[in-house]
Amino acid sequence: MLSNYYTLRYIVSTLDSRLRGKRIKEVFSQRRDELAVAFEDSGEHLVIPCHRDASTLYLDDRLSRARRNTADLLGEVPGAVVTGVAAAGSDRIAFITLEAGLRLAILCFGVKSNVCVLAPSGEILSAFKSGPKLRGTRLEIPQGEMVFDVLAFREAASAPGSATAGPFIRRAFPVLGGTLAQEVLLRAGIGPSRAVSGMDGAALVAVEGALRSVIADLGMPEPRIYAERDGTPVLFSIIPLRQAEALSERTYDDVHRAVREFIVRRDASAGALQERNALLGALRSRIEKARRTAQALDADARGGGRASEYERFAGALMTHPGASPKGARSVTLESEGEMLTIPLEPSLSPMQNSQKYYGKAKRARAAERASWSRRTQFDRFIDRGSALLDAAGRCVTREDVRAFMTAHSSELEEFGIGTKSAAHKELPFRIFVVEGGFEVWAGKSSANNDLLTLRYAKPDDLWFHARGASGSHVILKAGSGKGEPGRKAREQAAGIAAYYSKMKNSGMVPIAMTQKRYVRKPKGAPPGTVVIEREKVIFARPALPPAASESTS
């Protein structure tokens, strides 16, 4: 009930004695939808949030004006002396009366909240929001005092209809707002979903008694914040609430301090929740991507089971060479008591067809071994990610999130999350993390290859390229991990070079590896063309590392 009618009236009742006689120094805004009023010879600012969920006003002795991103507003007000502060009798409007008959009208209407400067005639001179549209119009101010018409409530309750108690109470007494309407029903012992038509006289008497109890409490306000066990603020109230009995409660002597603390703590909790959810979302995305890749590897491994079939085809063709003459497209042969129909390449001899199937069997076996090897890497990656996800889910405050990211920085970088990964978004290369936390950068085009090799790579970095085929220049950043890059890191970098080459679909690809100091570009050579010395050729399967934490910005 931060923006409740009664909360506003209570806050305003404390402002008259504290602001009367003070001269306004400046009015400015440095946060979206929030106005601040500074006073001469005072360390306090009147803060007026005009948010959907925080349309209120309060004094803040900690606010200071920023040097940048701040704007002066409501130019008619600075220099004027406050002569009084009051609330409208029947609506959520506060008035600060100034010299010369000017007034500041503070409208606490949720999304329609605003602050207007009124002339003595009631004409709007300027406004915090929608100033040009409102200038010259008049503010309609409801007259009279708020009255609880219990007789009208009884008559409405006796009328036929299908209304339930919760919405009915809110319509009957709109000034209460949702929180106080719920409090009335709780004190009356009536559920909000109970049908009004089924309420007897005793129930109506209970509601009326609960209403008087709430109104009596509102006459003796005591600000309080209800929070979860972790400190997350849930409710602000100026009376005790039965609906919040399961929450922790803290009361305050000063309503302004209570309002400020509630808003600050709520905003901090919302910021922490946003940061935590972003972290959890990024982790879930990486884990889900790894699971999809693992499923694809499972399918590849199952396909590798055809190796036995290819071997049987090859063996049958070797055993019955005369049964499959050159030019035939298929042949049916007996093998181990089973008839096999074997597709043939018509241009090949029986021996050549047999050798072809032996070759296919060998490649299928190798693919199966490679798939299961990579599958094991992905299993470990998914397990690490799941552990991080569980730990990150226990973060509550923004400090928790930041401490978690600091403590697990190297692990998060492997998942493409963290300060390094954020900086990588500014680099024009594909970027991966391999074994040992080392970074691998891969070019995207011939010109991009030149940029990577000639400007970004350092002499001690390891340089990789598919031998005898076009493809990306790949750099393993020597100083990006702990110690020297190990065999596994070099193999993964070579696999990336094979993956981003014209030989991507081959089983094994020869990769030239050397230090960047031994790579040079001849004068006048086309983009991407270099000369290398002292190369070492290693064979690698085209593959991206398990994390697949690629940045392609």
Task: Give residue 424's pLDDT.
Answer: 56
State the Cα–Cα distance between residues 15 and 45, nearest whole angstrom: 12
Region 6-24: mean pLDDT is 95
Residue 486, pLDDT above cutoff 60:
yes
Between the alpha carbon of residue 1 and those of residues 57, 315, 416, the distances in Å are 13, 83, 42
Task: Give residue 415's pLDDT.
Answer: 79
Residue 143, pLDDT above cutoff 70:
no
Q: Higher pLDDT residue, 31 or 415? A: 31
The overall pTM is greater than 0.85? no
Question: DSSP states of 455-499 as a string?
Answer: II--TTSEEEEETTS-B--EEE-TTSSSSS--HHHHHHHHHHHHH
CATH number of 150-251: 1.10.8.50
Give tens-digit pLDDT for 279-299.
888 889 888 888 888 887 777
Give tens-digit pLDDT for 305-332.
678 888 888 888 888 888 878 888 888 8
Phi (first) and psi of residue 75, to 5 degrees: -60, -15
Give tens-digit pLDDT for 344-356.
999 998 889 899 9
Give tens-digit pLDDT for 414-443.
777 766 555 555 678 998 888 888 899 999
Task: Give residue 105's pLDDT.
Answer: 95
Residue 492, pLDDT above cutoff 90:
yes
Give tens-digit pLDDT for 341-386.
989 999 998 889 899 988 888 877 777 777 777 778 788 888 988 9
Architecture of domain 5-134: Roll (2.30)
Domain boundaries, the chain: 5-134, 150-251, 285-392, 416-540
Lowest mean pLDDT among 149-158, 310-319, 480-489: 149-158
For 222, counting Cβ atoms within 10 Å of its Cβ (0-12 exposed, 13-18 middle, 19+ buried), the class is middle
pLDDT above 70: percentage of residues in the chain: 94
Region 75-103: mean pLDDT is 92
Average pLDDT, the chain: 87
State the Cα–Cα distance between residues 440 and 83, nearest whole angstrom: 69
